[in-house]
Amino acid sequence: MALVPTASLLAAVPGASIHVRVEVDDGPQGKATDRKKVLLPKGSTVVDATRAAAKMEQGFVCCDAKDVRTLNGVRCDPKKNGWWLYEVNGKMGQVAAHRYVLKEGDRVTWRYRTLKDKGSPKKVRLDAGPERGK
């Protein structure tokens, strides 16, 4: 079992933590975008930040058992080409969310989109690596 540092412990140790904003646009649910600020250990990933801010399930969707399958009750639907896509600081992630290492002040935005939605990319390519932010 791994020990997870508490927010107060992270805040007390200079350089041990990062502050990140996480936004989840539930798209098809028609709910307002969920926005939260989270304090995380340095070296945390997009998945770590998302898990701290939203109800998230992982599982094989297209590429890996660590894919983000469900956010706030909204599940990816490959048959309808519906996916959770993430951005960091306004730029679409180029690696899987569990590999993207965040930095202090990053803003993670998740949007549920079909690839037919206006403004959605025509193709989504997720590379297995390298990790960012080191």
Between 74 and 116, the higher pLDDT residue? 74
Q: What are the pLDDT digits (tens) for 96-132?
A: 999 999 999 999 999 988 876 555 544 444 444 444 4
Q: What is the pLDDT of residues 2-12, one digit of tens each?
A: 444 555 445 54
Phi, psi torsion values for 22, nearest 5 degrees: -125, 130
- pTM, rounded to two decimals: 0.75
> Is the distance from CB of 101 to CB of 131 less than 8 angstroms?
yes
In CATH terms, the fold of domain 16-114 is Ferric Hydroxamate Uptake Protein; Chain A, domain 1 (2.170.130)
Tokens of 13: 């140790």
Q: Where are the domains of the chain?
A: 16-114
